[in-house]
Amino acid sequence: MSLLPEGCFLNGNHFTTCQLQWRHWIIRANDALVDDVNGEGVIGQFPLLRPGDKEFVYESCSYQSSSRGSLKVPLLLSLAG
């Protein structure tokens, strides 16, 4: 999936909007699970992304005792258009 100024693209298909419904953060350090965050939306919101709208930005953090790690973020989006 790509988010571009003209909309969302998934498998070659164009959508004018995409809205975050669910996210699952899997955070690892040195191959050990550090954090597993799973739930609806993000920070109590379900951001709707449309061409020309202001970008949606938020910050999150997770403590890691290592400088090496990985982040896996499956998302469930509603697509329209």
Question: What is the predicted pLDDT for the residue at 39?
Answer: 92
Q: Encode the chain (81 residues) as per-residue pLDDT tens digits.
A: 677 777 888 888 889 889 999 999 899 988 888 889 899 998 889 998 888 888 888 887 777 777 788 888 888 888 887
Question: What is the predicted pLDDT for the residue at 1?
Answer: 66
Q: CA 48, 55, 60 angle in degrees (round to 5)?
A: 90
Question: What is the predicted pLDDT for the residue at 7?
Answer: 81
Annotated domain spans of the chain: 2-80
Give how far Cα 39 sits from Cα of 7, 31, 46, 51, Å: 25, 23, 11, 26
8 burial (CB, 10 Å; 0-12 / 13-18 / 19+) is buried
Provide the 10 A C-beta neighbour count for residue 72.
10
